[in-house]
């Protein structure tokens, strides 16, 4: 049970990373949130995409394949 809760917390964190890096404009991520990491816009989008992939597969594993 504890492991399951931990998995859902990790999925939520990954989903939040995906939302921030994938959808928000470059200036918002870099100047307002200050988490640009010195990378270009397309690198941010790729970070968000990888986080989204892991989150989606995690949700599928936890919900569909119980």
Partner 1 sequence: MNKLASNFLFSFFVTLAMVVLDMLYHLAGGTAVHLLYVLVKFFVIFLVTFLTAHFVGRSPGEGWFTTISGPIIFYLYYRFANPTLNREVFVLDEQFWFVFAHIAMMMLSYFGVYYFVFGKKDSIKAKSIVSVFVLALLVTGIDILYQLTYVHIATGGDEKANAVALHFEKSFNLFALVFLSGLFAKKLKKNPLVSGIAFVAAVSLIIFLTSFNLPRAFFGIISGALPYWLLSLNFRGKR
Pick from 15, 22, 30, 39: which binds partner 1 (CB under 8 A)? 22
- Binding of partner 1 by 28 (CB under 8 A): no
Interatomic CA distance for residues 13 and 44, integer angstroms? 16
Asked if residue 8 lies in contact with residue 66, where contact means CB atoms within 8 angstroms, the answer is no
Residue with tokens 């999925």: 11
How would you classify residue 25: left for phi > 0, otherwise alpha for psi between -120 and 50, otherwise beta? beta
Our CB check for partner 1 shows the closer of 32 and 61 to be 61
Pick from 2, 3, 65, 66: which binds partner 1 (CB under 8 A)? 65
| Binding residues vs partner 1 (CB under 8 A) | 22-23, 41-42, 45-46, 48-50, 52-54, 56-57, 60-61, 64-65
């Amino acid at each position: 049970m504890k492991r399951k809760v931990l998995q859902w917390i990790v999925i939520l964190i990954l989903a939040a990373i995906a939302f921030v890096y994938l959808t928000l404009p470059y200036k918002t991520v870099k100047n307002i949130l200050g988490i640009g990491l010195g990378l270009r816009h397309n690198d941010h989008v790729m970070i968000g995409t990888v986080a989204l992939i892991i989150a989606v597969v995690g949700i599928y594993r936890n919900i569909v394949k119980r």
